[in-house]
Amino acid sequence: MATTILLVILGVIMIIGGICLLATPLFNFMSLGYMVIIMFCLSGIFGIIRGIRTKQYGKDFVLAIIGLILGIIGLAIPNAAAMTNNFILLYLAAGWFILHGILSIVDAIALKKLSGTGLMVLGIILGVLEIIMGIYSAAHPVVLALSLGMLVGFYFIESGINMIVIGCAVERD
């Protein structure tokens, strides 16, 4: 029950954050680094708590630890928002989209038993879109730099939907 509540709360927060990113692109371009750092920290903390509570220390737990470490590093570096202009961060963001898309597809297939075919297909479609977004971003980093706020907004919305679906599926089990 507590895991479901945490997943749904984090999912709603991520959806609201994604909508905010899409609604204010100029502001996001200037402050995106801080938002990404905060979301890495929150996502990492909730993922670690979820992993410990459910005693599942697989790929989601490892990604949560990596996310928290990236968030802490971002907080420790002065002027972390300026990192969004760094090509290394742009390629890391593209790689993150691709990795998360692959894991979303794997999770969607694994959830077929819990949630049925409809939600599995939705998860696969969202994962494929995320992979396409990551590949395009890696091929065109300048476009990624100009549209990173919107891409992260879509990512937050997609991740929020996935978390809510997973939380509801875990509750039914």
Residue pLDDT, tens place only, 108-125: 888 777 767 777 888 889
Sign of the alpha-carbon dihedral angle for 71, 73, 76, 82: negative
Q: What share of the chain is helix, strand, coil (3-state, %, to 5)?
A: 90, 0, 10
Check if the beta carbon of residue 169 is closer than 8 Å to that of residue 114: yes
pLDDT given for residue 1 in this prediction: 67
Q: How many separate helices (H) and strands (E) can be counted in the chain?
A: 7, 0
Q: Which of 110, 109, 129 is nearest to 121 (CA)?
A: 109
d(CA 61, CA 86): 28
Residue indicated by tokens 């494929």: 128
User: Confidence class of residue 81 from pLDDT cuts 50, 70 and 90?
Assistant: very low
Mean pLDDT of the chain, nearest integer = 78
* Burial class of residue 141, CB neighbours in 10 A (0-12, 13-18, 19+): middle
Tens digits of per-residue pLDDT, 30-75?
Answer: 566 666 677 778 888 988 998 898 888 887 888 888 888 877 877 7
pLDDT given for residue 166 in this prediction: 80
pLDDT given for residue 31 in this prediction: 64
pLDDT given for residue 85 in this prediction: 46
CB atoms closer than 10 angstroms to residue 85 = 12
Selected residue with higher pLDDT from 144 and 162: 162
Mean pLDDT of 130-151: 79
Reported pTM: 0.52
User: Confidence class of residue 128 from pLDDT cuts 50, 70 and 90?
Assistant: very high
d(CA 126, CA 148): 18
